[in-house]
Structures are given as C-alpha cells and as structure tokens.
Amino acid sequence: MSLKAIRFLPFGLLLYCAFFLSCESIQKNEENEKVYTTWSNYLGDSGRSHYSTLSQITKENVKDLKVAWSYKAKDWGQMQMNPLVVDSMLFGVTAALRVVAINAETGSEIWQFGDSVQVWHSTSRGLSYWEKNNDKRIFCTRGPHLFALNALTGKPISSFGNNGKIDLRSGMSASAKDKFVISNTPGTIYKDLIVMPLRVSEDVGAPPGIIMAFNVITGDVEWVFKTIPDIGEKGSETWQFKSDIEREMTGAANNWAGMAVDEKTGIIYVPTGSAAPDFYGGIRKGSNLYSNSLLALNAQTGEYIWHFQMTHHDLWDRDPPAPPNLLIVERDGKKIPAVAQVTKQGFVYLFDRATGEPLFDVEELPMPTSTLDGEQAWPTQPFPVKPKPFARQSTEITENDISPFAENKDSLLEIFKKSDTRINAPPALNPVFLLPGYDGAAEWGGTAADPNDGIIYVNSNEMAWILQMKENDSIAPDRPFGERTYFKYCVTCHQENREGLTASGFPSLLGLKDRLKKEDVSTIIAQGKGMMTGFPQIKKDEKNALLKFLFNEADKQEVATTEYPPTSHALPYKHAGYNKFLDSNGLPAISPPWGTLHAIDLNSGEYIWSVPFGNTPELNEQGINTGTENYGGAVVTENGLLFIGATRDGFFRVFDKHNGTILWEYKLPAAAFATPAMYEINGKQYIAIACGGEKLGTEKGNQIIAFSLNAN
Ligand code: HEC
C-alpha cells in the first residue's frame, strides 16, 4: 500500500481493507487470481499451463473456425516455436531463427530481426518477454548468444551485455569456451532475471550443465547452479570419477527443456537431463546427482531447495523432455500447490511444490545389471505408483504386437526375439528394445494443465527404438586423418559407411558434394542442424581433413599435427546409432497406437480418457486410426476445448477436453510441430500456430496461421 493512500483516509482505509480482503482471497485460492487471457509467456504462463480462460470459441461454434490470417516467413523448415502475444503484437521465430513481430490481428509484419545475419540451422521453441514501464524486451538466442531486443522495434538494446547480446558461456568455466552451447528453449523470467536452459553435446566433450540467471537489464550473470557439483560439494559423492580425465569427459546434466517458476514463492522448478556421454556411464559411476532430476531452486539466488532424481545413473537418454506444470490438486479436501513432471518413459511425477514430497508414492524397484565392461547400472529405479504410464512399456510388447501392417514380419520378429525387452535393460552388445524410446512418450511439447482443477492433457509417442552398443575398436592409424576424424565425431549417427539411418532421421553423407558446398557443411559441423549438435571444438586442421574426407578428397598422407581432447572414441564401447524399430514401409513396427493423447486427473491419479492421436493416411482410408508420432503441445481452455497440432499427418485439431472426441480439424499447409498460442484482440479470440513441417520426413512449410470465428 502506498503512503499516499494512508494520507487520504478514509479513501485510504477503504483501499487498505480492499488490500487485505484480496490478500485473503489470494491465499484461499491463489491460482484463481491469475487471468489466463494473455500469452506473453512461453506456453502461456510461468507455470507452463498451456491454458486460457478465453471463451468466445465454444464446443458449439468451434466448427466455424476460419483462417484469420497467415504469415509467410522468408525461410522454410521446422518451427517448434510457441508464439508470444503482447498487446496487439505477436512475436515468433522462423526456421532460420529470424525473430519476427507481426500484427496479431492482421498478420502483417512489423519488424524482423536477424535478416542481415547468417542463416542458422538450429531450432527454436520461442522467446521470452520482460517489461517494466516503457522498457519492453524480447529475448532470443542464436548459437551461443542471448540477445535483448526492443520489443517495439526489434533493435538490440545496446546497454545489454555487449551491444545487445551476451555469450551464454560467460557463466561457465573457461573450458566451455570452444564447446557447443546453445539454447533453443526460452528462458524463464523472474523479476529482473532470465534463467536460461542450455543445449549441449550428449557425448564426450559436453561441458557440465549449469543453470544460469542473467540480469535482464545488464546481461550480467547473477547466479549459477552447478548440476554436476564440484569436488567436496553436496552431491559430488554421487560421481565416482577415477581420474581428472574421466571428469573432463563427463558433462551435460543440463536443463534444455525449460523451467517453471512460482512467482509467489519465488521457487523455480528445473528438470535436468542425463549426463554425457549418454549411453556409457563407466566413466561416471554413481547415481549422478543432479542429472535427470527435478530441482527446486530459489529463483532469486539459485540456492538449492529440494530435488528428486527420476533416473539414477541414466544410460538411456531419459531426459525429462518438457518443463513441469504448476497446478493445484485436491487431497482430503485440501488444495495443495503441486508441480507435475512428465517423462520420456510416460510417467507423471507429482510433488508438493514447497517440500518436494511425492503426492503419489514412488517405489524404488530392483533393476537388471549391466554386462558391459566397466559399467555399473544403478541397482534400482523409481516408479510412481500412480498415474499408470501414458505409453506402453517394453515389457508389454509380445510377439503378437508386431505391426499387422508390416510386410516383413519375419525379419521384424527376428530382431524383436533377440532384443532385451526388460524395463531399463542396460545398453549391451545385444540389442535392447527401448519402448518408450529416445523421443518419449512425452516430448518437448509437454503438458497442458488446467491449473485450478488438477487435470493434465498430454500427447505421447509409442515408438520403439533398438539400442545397441558396439566395441569401440579403434580405426587403423594409417587411415587418412579426415576419416579418423569422422570416426571420432560422426559415426554414431551417420554410420561407418556414411549412409546414415535415413528412416530414423539421420541422413546419408554420401554424395555430399553434389548437394552442399564445403562452406555449408563447415557451418553445419560448427553449429549443428536440427537434432544434430554442433562441433565447434573441432580444430581447423581436423575440420579441413574431415571436409576433404566427406568430399572424397582424403589424402592418405595427411597426419594429425596436435593432440586432441578425447571423444567417445576413447571409451571401450560406442552407441551403434539411433535406430527406430520400423517396418519395410517406414512405419512403426509395433502395433498401433503410435501416438496417443490423454487426459489425466492428478487429484485421483486416474485417466479421464485416452485416444489415438493422428492418422496414417494410407491406413486411415481403410478406416484404421493408428495415431502418429507427434511433437508439440496442446492449449486447453477453461470452457472445454483442447487445441493441438503436433501429428505427422499435418492436422490442427480441437478435442472436447471432457471426453477426447474431435470437434474440428483442419489440414495445415505443413505439419505443426509446435504448441499454439491463444489470445484476444478487440473482442476477438484467436489461436495461432507455426507450421514448418520438415520433421519426420514431412514437407517443409513457412507459415504462422491464426484462426478465429470470423475470418478477416
Ligand atoms: C547425434 C547424432 C549426429 C552426430 C554425432 C552427427 N550428426 Fe550430422 N546430422 C544429424 C542429423 C539428425 C541430421 C539431420 C538434421 C536435419 O536436417 O534436421 C544431420 C545432418 C548433417 C548434415 C546435413 C546433411 C544434408 O544432406 O543436409 C551434414 C553435412 C552432417 N550432418 C555432417 C556431420 C558431421 C561431419 C558430423 C561429425 C563431425 C556429424 N554430422 C555428426 C545427426 C548427427
């Protein structure tokens, strides 16, 4: 209350009473006080609810939705971004990481940032917005840099960092200087801080993941939380490094999926990914805190409050893939502020937001032991007793579950029969049947939640992958330097024969010279592309030799001139490649559903409904609803609608949130692997979604499309 109000009694007294009354109602039902009609925050709000109370679009009239406007970007390809809307401006990111401001009512462009800079091959899930009085800022990233832009003009704010940008590695140790560090999920704003997610390598050579808060005005590092504790710090005993080299070879445990913050309590919730290298942990024995954990930190200072580790000593790339949801659940008539975290395994963990106490019991169950030399899988793993997983688990698949549509059933059965289907079967020389796979169950689209009634809506993949390790027999020293470099950095994904695993999304690098210029390949190596992380640490002479090899100009005489830091090549085993379990037509080799959508009541832990999600056109013609692989999340409205794109078939759909029936669907110009944004201008309700396709072998697109009831 202001001093002025006290002076002007009795008006002040009135205000004073109103203040206390409202405080009381906030305490009673804090979440209800939020408005949920705007979209100035990633995924709608800082609790990442994907939720709106706008109500012009209803179950009755949703069939009348029309395209209100569409915006065509200059560049084409995957757009994972969730737009922001502030006042009448919509902010988005294109496939080549241009940031655009668009009139949210008409779709006309207001400004664009990044046109004069080089094209980026990375993906972006969106932006962050901060304002104080007339100072309005948009935060975006390109490569290792975080930019602060004037929201009204798109110009970098020169007083922020170095002429409008900072290096995300500025809060990291010096050894991170040459490493691949980017951020493709928006930072979380808390007061005058922005807390940044980071994407790093998942292999030997990754820097240790740290959580960093930067000052939104100056760009200065305000605090740092180390997810791999330093020697002597709490948690460091969970990393049994035998040498400094092992410590150096280990990294990651970074948050890449984004965070949620409770603005009332000032607690930030940070899910962390697995430690690198992903699949061989013999150099990082122990449970590996704080990898694969949900961390609760003081958002102002970065101090530790509580954590829960969801996979101990991860050997399967079980990163929690989405930010958590802050919501209220009811227990014994009491309303409890809770935080829910979905996982790639299809589990939902639910914790008391303040204490980290699980709100459904979690059992530690004994797990299979590892067979690889030097590896020690953790003896137990946690399983929430409720809700049950929202995707089939490997143990549920039998020989009868090979896809009925597969034409090569016998060869699929052969692979299946020799694969280890036990849950958390450690990586081995024999194939492991990984279901849910590397890309979930849940993925980065995350979970929509009604923050008040405790119900979440989650889309899920049911794609099995074959996980297999190989002995890392070293390549003969007389092979050309470039070929040896390729073996050190590239074989896992692009394979020894350079043919890639195209059906799984890992392209062949044969015949590169017919389709790409050396400079382009050089940029891709440095920056990465889509799912591929970059390798800025590859030195100039290594890179030249590598390029020569890729362009079939390798020179046998060429030799390495210096010592290079170890890569996964120094480990006794290597990952044989990201291999989806597909049939000869490229369809999933297990029986459908291949993608699903669920409503789960977290008050009871029970499912309200589950439906297959998306169609395979050739099978849909025969009346079979298979569901498809899907990426991107939903938006749920208070009045009963669930809006979601995400499927490979390129539809944008509205479901009835109460029963999962489809109320409306629209075929987009390209698949929308993105979460929509809902907003209102001049009394009209809009929902906007980016559709850039490209992922999962779909056509490329370049549009952001907004829908409303009456088209412009
Ligand atoms: C972790 C897996 C992984 C590793 C390791 C990896 N790549 Fe890739 N690479 C990919 C994926 C996935 C793509 C496809 C990206 C896209 O288009 O979205 C790709 C694409 C490429 C492309 C573009 C191909 C084209 O036709 O457009 C080039 C070139 C390339 N990689 C080179 C390399 C080189 C050289 C290395 C080693 C220094 C390497 N990659 C290491 C996964 C990987």
Position in ligand 1 atom list of the atom nearest CA 491? 5
What's the CA angle centered on 371, arms 367 and 376, to 5 degrees? 60
Q: Quick check: 589 pLDDT over 80?
A: yes
Position in ligand 1 atom list of the atom nearest CA 578? 2
In the structure encoding, which two tokens stand for residue 213, read together?
């808060």
The pLDDT mean for the chain works out to 92
Mean pLDDT of all residues in 18-35 = 47
**Sign (positive/negative) of CA torsion 50, 52, 56, 59?**
positive
Distances in Å between the Cα of 413 and the Cα atoms of 292, 407, 541, 593 are: 33, 12, 46, 19
For a mutational test of ligand 1's pocket, the pick from 488, 529, 574, 580, i.e. the residue with the most ligand atoms closer than 8 A to its C-beta, is 529
Residue 178: pLDDT band (50, 70, 90) is confident
Cβ of 81 less than 6 Å from ligand 1: no
**How far is it, in rounded angstroms, from Cα 433 to Cα 581?**
9
Quick one: pLDDT at residue 117?
A: 55
Quick one: pLDDT at residue 480?
A: 86
Mean pLDDT of all residues in 84-103 = 97
Residue 3: pLDDT band (50, 70, 90) is very low
Residue 563: pLDDT band (50, 70, 90) is low
Name the CA radius of gyration of the chain, rounded. 25
535 alpha carbon – ligand 1 mean position (Å):
10
Whose C-alpha lies nearest to ligand 1, atom 43?
532
Contact in structure between 228 and 240 (CB atoms under 8 Å): no
Mean pLDDT of all residues in 168-174 = 91
For a mutational test of ligand 1's pocket, the pick from 494, 516, 523, i.e. the residue with the most ligand atoms closer than 8 A to its C-beta, is 494
Whose C-alpha lies nearest to ligand 1, atom 18?
530
Residue 349: what residue type? Y
Quick one: pLDDT at residue 7?
A: 37
Quick one: pLDDT at residue 19?
A: 42
In the structure encoding, which two tokens stand for residue 178, read together?
């040459």
Residues 6+ apart with CB under 8 A from 119: 75, 96, 97
Residue 295: pLDDT band (50, 70, 90) is very high
Residues 6+ apart with CB under 8 A from 408: 583, 584
Nearest partner of 45 among 453, 324, 335, judged by Cα: 324
Per-residue pLDDT tens for 243-271? 999 999 999 999 999 999 999 999 999 99
Residue 664: what residue type? W
Q: Quick check: 32 pLDDT over 90?
A: no
Cβ of 525 less than 6 Å from ligand 1: yes
Distances in Å between the Cα of 163 and the Cα atoms of 97, 196, 212, 219, 559 are: 19, 19, 20, 10, 42
Cβ of 494 less than 6 Å from ligand 1: yes
Distances in Å between the Cα of 282 and the Cα atoms of 154, 311, 375, 572 are: 48, 16, 4, 9
Whose C-alpha lies nearest to ligand 1, atom 7?
532
Buried b (16+ CB within 10 A) or exposed e, 20-34: eeeeeeeeeebbeeb
Cβ of 95 less than 6 Å from ligand 1: no
Nearest partner of 202 among 533, 529, 551, 530, judged by Cα: 533
**How far is it, in rounded angstroms, from Cα 368 to Cα 34?**
47
Cβ of 509 less than 6 Å from ligand 1: yes
Quick one: pLDDT at residue 114?
A: 87
Quick one: pLDDT at residue 28?
A: 38
Residue 476: pLDDT band (50, 70, 90) is confident
**How far is it, in rounded angstroms, from Cα 208 to Cα 228?**
6
Residue 128: pLDDT band (50, 70, 90) is very high
Cβ of 484 less than 6 Å from ligand 1: no
Cβ of 530 less than 6 Å from ligand 1: yes
**How far is it, in rounded angstroms, from Cα 464 to Cα 393?**
9
Quick one: pLDDT at residue 561?
A: 62
Position in ligand 1 atom list of the atom nearest CA 512? 26
Mean pLDDT of all residues in 211-217 = 98
525 alpha carbon – ligand 1 mean position (Å):
8
Cβ of 524 less than 6 Å from ligand 1: yes
Residue 44: pLDDT band (50, 70, 90) is very high
Position in ligand 1 atom list of the atom nearest CA 485? 38
Contact in structure between 205 and 251 (CB atoms under 8 Å): yes
**How far is it, in rounded angstroms, from Cα 91 to Cα 81?**
10
For a mutational test of ligand 1's pocket, the pick from 201, 484, 493, 525, i.e. the residue with the most ligand atoms closer than 8 A to its C-beta, is 493
Whose C-alpha lies nearest to ligand 1, atom 19?
532
In the structure encoding, which two tokens stand for residue 309, read together?
């580790």
**Sign (positive/negative) of CA torsion 201, 207, 211, 214?**
negative
Residue 69: what residue type? W
Nearest partner of 15 among 24, 4, 25, 31, judged by Cα: 4
Quick one: pLDDT at residue 557?
A: 67
Cβ of 529 less than 6 Å from ligand 1: yes
CB atoms within 10 A of CB 404: 11
**How far is it, in rounded angstroms, from Cα 183 to Cα 146?**
8
Contact in structure between 192 and 215 (CB atoms under 8 Å): yes
Residue 23: pLDDT band (50, 70, 90) is very low
Q: Quick check: 369 pLDDT over 70?
A: yes
78 alpha carbon – ligand 1 mean position (Å):
15
Distances in Å between the Cα of 337 and the Cα atoms of 27, 183, 212, 454, 612 are: 11, 29, 26, 10, 31
In the structure encoding, which two tokens stand for residue 488, read together?
């050190």
**How far is it, in rounded angstroms, from Cα 637 to Cα 328?**
16
Residue of higher predicted confidence among 570 and 153: 153
Quick one: pLDDT at residue 630?
A: 98
CB atoms within 10 A of CB 418: 11
- The burial class, CB within 10 Å (0-12 / 13-18 / 19+), for 215 is middle
Per-residue pLDDT tens for 477-509? 778 889 989 988 999 899 999 999 999 999 999
Nearest partner of 141 among 97, 173, 175, judged by Cα: 97
Quick one: pLDDT at residue 618?
A: 86
Residue 34: pLDDT band (50, 70, 90) is confident
In the structure encoding, which two tokens stand for residue 357, read together?
């106490």
532 alpha carbon – ligand 1 mean position (Å):
5
Residue 438: pLDDT band (50, 70, 90) is very high
**How far is it, in rounded angstroms, from Cα 699 to Cα 407?**
25
Cβ of 493 less than 6 Å from ligand 1: yes
Cβ of 532 less than 6 Å from ligand 1: yes
Q: Quick check: 155 pLDDT over 90?
A: yes
Q: Quick check: 12 pLDDT over 50?
A: no
Quick one: pLDDT at residue 566?
A: 76
Mean pLDDT of all residues in 332-357 = 98
Q: Quick check: 348 pLDDT over 70?
A: yes
206 alpha carbon – ligand 1 mean position (Å):
17
Residue 236: what residue type? S
